[in-house]
Structure 1
Amino acid sequence: MFRKREIKKLLQEKPFVESQETNTSSDIPLDSVEFLKIIQQKLHYSADFKTLKISNLTIIYIDTQVNIKELNQNIIGHLKNVQVYTEKNVITEIAVSEIQKSYSMKNGMLSILKGSVGIHIDQTSTLLLINIPTDNNRSLSKPENESQVVGPQIGFNESLATNISLIRRYITTTDLHNERFVIGARTNTEVSLLYIDGLASQAMVTRFKEKIKSIDVDGLLDSAVLNQLISDNALSIFPQMLLTERPDRICDGLLNGKLAILVEGSTMAILCPLSFIEFFESREDYNVRWPIASFIRLLRIIAMLLSVFFTALYVAALSFHYEVIPQALLVPLGESRSRVPFPPLFEAVLLEFIIELLREAGARLPTKVGQTMGIVGGIVIGTAAVQAGFTSNILIIIVALSALASFTTPSYTMGSLIRIIRFPLLFLAGFWGFYGIMFGFCIILIHLLRLTTLESPYLAPFYPPRFADWLDSIVRLPIKFTFRRPQLARPQNRNKYNPDKVK
């Protein structure tokens, strides 16, 4: 058994992390003057690179990256009291929680660029690294693009450590794995892969790691770029992975056996694999009663179909298929179009283009100005277009309903996709009528059938048919009937809970 004196000594020792390289393979110069000269050359004598000499110690750091107050109090202030500067004395005296010991110039430079302070002792081939980055992250706030009424009101920010801590607040288990990768030859961006051991498919985890390791780019600035790099079909217009800023949405996916990816400096996390129907689901659907959730989901699906096909059906009916228009609508429709000199196709494309202009202008302007621009611009331009005879009243209503319906999709990427698909279908309807719409629908359906999300079918659970997953797809049945995890992620454990114990 340890004596009390030995136990006290062990508790007082500071943890430090050894690099995988040994001292014999060190490329750090022994002479401090030569070491400092190499560092300055590698940083091209940057203005924010600072050095401090204390006896045989050389302290180096980038003042824009480190916490200057902590540097002065916990490092420099304590080192001034040391009489003999040896590696052991320096490690013992510095008042920080962790000191990393490195034998590589490259690894040392990367750490310094990310907010570490380097300490080089003359006539040693070791570099001590103390990580004290500046705290310049914004505080946590509500998600900007994924608001909900019932449920948590907190979103990710730009700090990778903060985002991971938000997830660990929900999932407090040792089975939650966090694996780090570095992507970008020039940015050296940290990426974290999260999954729950025992739930996530090991084959899927291995395949995803290979995808991340195979990426060779100069820089990675956002998770949206990584999403495009690792998608199964990068040429497809359909998103195959979900970008979300909600920690609860990520945790729900992890508990279903899915994988999550977080990128340093990005407020959006990636969740995969994800089927087409899941882009129309929201985490709020599980926070309300099942009849309300089922109604809202059906409303979103109908709104998506309405947004994609409604304007195209109007153009096709007026151009080729007058017989499908009810007789009661023929007179008001004729009166509305009596002053319009353009064919239905040009009229519809013009209005859709104006709507997209208003939407984009409202998104790029400041919040208060953008809202005013969207409302006032829509009313003024719509009224002026009808009075000038450029368009009809009925088409104004149809285009407005289609634009409104596209906003019901919880995912921004899927909502943007719906806006784009309308235009090809409009041209097909204007040239070939209902036959053109059906041709476009078949092309989209065939493309969706061929798509995969992390090598899983994109149209699951409808193709291939998985009837057990239908209970929580277009509609959401009571929790008692949705005790199985979706087969899309191939989870190792299918049951979320014992249905016999749910009352």
Structure 2
Amino acid sequence: MKRKSTKKKQQSLFPSTLEEVEKDLNEKALNSSPDFTMKVVETESNQRVGFYFLYSIIKPQVVYEQIISPIQKAKKTLDIKAIDNMIVLPNSKQESNIDEIAKKLLQGAVCIYIENDQSCLMHSVPLQEHRSIDRAETESLIFGPQMAFTGSIETNLNMVRNMIDTPHLKIERFILGNKIPNEIQMIYMNDIANEENVNELRKRLTSLQSEDIMNASVLSQKIEDNPYSFFPQYIVTELPDRFTYSIKEGKIGILVDNSSAGIVAPITFSSFFESTDDIYGRWVIGSFTRLMRMFAMIMSITLTPLYVAALTFHYEVIPEALLLSLGESRNRVPFPPLMETLILETMMEFIREAGARLPTKVGQTMGIVGGIVIGQAVVQAGFTSNILIILVALSALASFTTPDYVMGTSLRILRFPIILLAGTFGFVGIFFMVAFIIIHLLRLRSLHRPYTAPIYPFRFSDFDQSQVRIPFALNKRRATSLLPKKTKRKKSNADQHPLFNTKGKDIDE
């Protein structure tokens, strides 16, 4: 009994003097933080009121004008309820537990305490410094709104609400982490999103016990179906329009506080090769660019492995005229095709990584100049052939066509084991690795939904929602792969166009 009483006494500060509260908060809860501040005010009724806060994370002007000043001018005797009525700020809470008070102070709250009272009043007035709304850094658009998410979850939610102005937009709030809490918001259309998808994602978020969720990318990896896969199972995007378009299609979005990106789930493999530019542009252009990206993806992971396999084991597949050219080009090269290709691919990765880490203007110059100078130098030095330089450059360009940076990087990494198998077993090694990747993709799931839909399970009716883009007048349904509640879209003005609405009219009219 005595031990239990001691623990309870440690947790409670009240009733105490203002100085005792300051000492206990500073030493026991805040570890003598240098930005911890106490402001004491004596009212006209001779009451001493203390204000405790961390000055680095609160709005000082709001604290003085809307909290301290009204209390200082009070002429009658105050209590907690009277103070709460005087302050017009929202999110007030009465608290007497030292740990809870310290936790709220660290989140940008002000503790208001009347000396020798039984509890204090907490008001949240956090100062959040975030970058302004700007263009996306990792995703670019030709058409559409040229803006990206910021680090403020309130600003991000404001952009989402402005783009989806409907009462059917459902938002669920989660706080993850005990020692370092972080706010998460799950957003979906409650009349479209599949209930099983929503329940599964809610279950994963509530069961997650982690203190190191720094941003959306980290969270997406912690709630994936297969965290050991090379391929991302959720889309992490900086673009509000892509985020909101996915929600309107029946998917679920996640916003993370202090993160300038949102998560979209569930998704399919083909989703990583789609862009909102395909929607903003003409349907012919959108279809062509989607098919081109898929072809570029296949070319980026097979072009240099085919070169290695052909020159190492399968000279017979090379046309005679090209074989002579290859022989002349490789005449001075001292390395076998496998080593030659690995050296050049590694050098290309060095240039790409250096360009990404250097400042923007210097990085662009480094990528162009480094590629030209080093490429010409290695050919003249006899380290590689001209033809391989062309193939590596084409593979690199093809990998850059993928709109999603994470997927593009994953495909570039997969190229290396394919090259190794091509140099060891020839075409058999390439076919084995490609078959292994396809089997892995067929087994992969995103929120328990097929990753390779609509190819497997095969749904021809969904191809116009993924592989190609059809005109808006014909796009009257959503993809059924994610099992949305509503597959039919609402009729638009395009449906009333005379070309598509000829009922009861003569063809000449």
After TM superposition, is the score higher than 0.5?
A: yes
Shift in CA distance, 380/474, structure 1 to aligned 2, threshold 3 Å: same
Match of 1:72 in 2: 64
Among candidates 166, 170, 179, match of residue 177 of structure 1: 170
Structure 2 counterpart of 1:311: 304
Match of 2:196 in 1: 203
What is the distance in 1 between the residues matched to 2:174 and 2:400?
36
Q: Tell me how far 1:361 sits from its aligned partner.
A: 0.4
The one-letter code of the counterpart of 2:252 is L
1:401-459 C-alpha deviation (Å, 9 max, x unpaired)? 10011110000010101110100100111011111100001100000010000000000
Structure 1 residues 28 and 175: alpha-carbon distance in aligned structure 2, compared to 1, 3 A threshold: farther
Question: What residue is the counterpart of 2:505 in the other structure?
Answer: none
Question: Are residues 1:43 and 2:36 paired?
Answer: no
Write out per-residue CA displacement over residues 231-270 of structure 1, whole angstroms, 9 at most, x where no aligned residue: 0000101000000001111111111111111111111110
Residue equivalent to 2:6: none
Counterpart for residue 190 of structure 1:
183
Instruction: Choose the corresponding residue for 2:404, options 391, 398, 411.
Output: 411
Moved more, 125-134 or 207-216: 125-134
Amino acid at match of 1:44: N
TM-score by length of 2: 0.91
8 Å CA contact 1:57–1:85 kept in 2: the answer is no
Give CA deviations for 1:280-303 in whole Å, capped at 9, x if unaligned. Answer: 000110111110101111111111
Please tell me the residue identity of whatever aligns with 1:62: L
> 2:169·2:189 contact (CA, 8 Å) conserved in 1?
yes
Residues of 2 paired with 1:494 and 1:89: CA distance? Answer: 54
* Equivalent-residue separation in structure 2 for 1:35 and 1:207 (angstroms): 44
Q: CA–CA distance in 2 between the matches of 1:74 and 1:425?
A: 65
- Indicate which of 476, 479, 501 corresponds to 2:495: 501
Aligned residue-pair number = 478
Counterpart check, 1:93 vs 2:86: yes
Partner of 1:9: none
Structure 1 gap segments, 5+ residues each:
1-25
How far apart, CA to CA, are the structure 2 residues paired with 1:487 and 1:149? 29
- 1:81 matches 2:73: yes
Q: 1:428 aligns with which of 405, 416, 421?
A: 421
Amino acid across the alignment from 2:114? I
Task: Report the CA distance between 1:72 and its aligned residue.
Answer: 1.6
**Which residue, out of 218, 224, 230, partners 2:223?**
230
Q: Is 1:121 matched with 2:137?
A: no
In structure 2, distance between residues paired with 1:32 and 1:487: 65
Pick the aligned partner of 2:158 from 160, 165, 176: 165
Tell me the amino acid that sits aligned with residue 426 of structure 2.
G
Cα shift at 1:98: 4.7
In the alignment, is the contact (CA less than 8 A) between 2:273 and 2:294 conserved in 1?
Answer: yes
Q: Give, in angstroms, the shift of residue 30 of structure 1.
A: 2.6
Q: Which of 211, 229, 233 does residue 218 from structure 1 map onto?
A: 211
- Matched letter for residue 69 of structure 2: G
What code does the residue aligned with 2:72 have? K
Q: Secondary structure at the match of 1:465?
A: coil
Matches of residues 313-328 of structure 1 in structure 2 within 5 Å?
313-328=306-321
Aligned AA (2:14): P
Distance 1:28 1:483, change over 3 A: farther
Return the offset for 1:124.
3.5
Cα distance 1:102–1:205, how it changes in 2: closer, same or farther (>3 A)?
farther
User: What aligned pairs does 1:480-499 form with structure 2 within 5 A after superposition?
Assistant: 480-498=473-491
CA distance 1:344–1:502, shift in 2 (3 Å): farther
Tell me which amino acid in the other structure corresponds to 1:476.
R
2:53 equivalent among 47, 57, 61: 61
Does the residue aligned with 1:362 lie in a helix, a strand or coil?
Answer: helix
Q: Aligned partners of 1:153, 1:197: CA distance in 2, in Å?
A: 28
Q: How does 1:231-246 map to 2 (within 5 A)?
A: 231-246=224-239
Q: Name the SS of the counterpart of 2:133 in structure 1.
A: coil
Equivalent residue runs for 1:333-348 within 5 Å: 333-348=326-341
- 8 Å CA contact 1:449–1:463 kept in 2: the answer is yes
- TM-score w.r.t. the length of structure 1 is 0.92
Counterpart among 263, 267, 274 of residue 270 in structure 1: 263
Give the residue type in structure 1 aligned to 2:270.
I
Alignment root-mean-square deviation, CA? 1.7
**CA distance in 1: counterparts of 2:13 and 2:186, whole angstroms:** 32
Q: Which residue of 104, 111, 118 corresponds with 1:111?
A: 104
1:128 is paired with a residue whose SS is strand
List structure 1 segments (4+ residues) > 6 angstroms apart after TM superposition: none
The answer to whether the 8 Å contact 2:128/2:152 transfers is: no
1:475 aligns with 2:468: yes
Q: Secondary structure at the match of 1:180?
A: strand
| Conserved 8 A contact 2:473-2:495 | no
Residues 82 and 89 of structure 1 are in contact (CA less than 8 Å); yes or no, is this contact kept in structure 2? no
Three-state SS of the structure 2 residue aligned to 1:479 is coil
Give the deviation of 1:180 after TM superposition.
1.3
AA at the equivalent of 1:496: R
Shift of 1:53: 2.0
SS at match of 1:489: coil
Cα displacement (A) at 1:39: 1.7
Q: Tell whether the 8 Å contact from 2:184 to 2:255 is kept in structure 1 after alignment.
A: yes
CA contact (8 A) 1:32 1:120 kept: no
Q: Distance in 1 between matches of 2:462 and 2:322?
A: 42
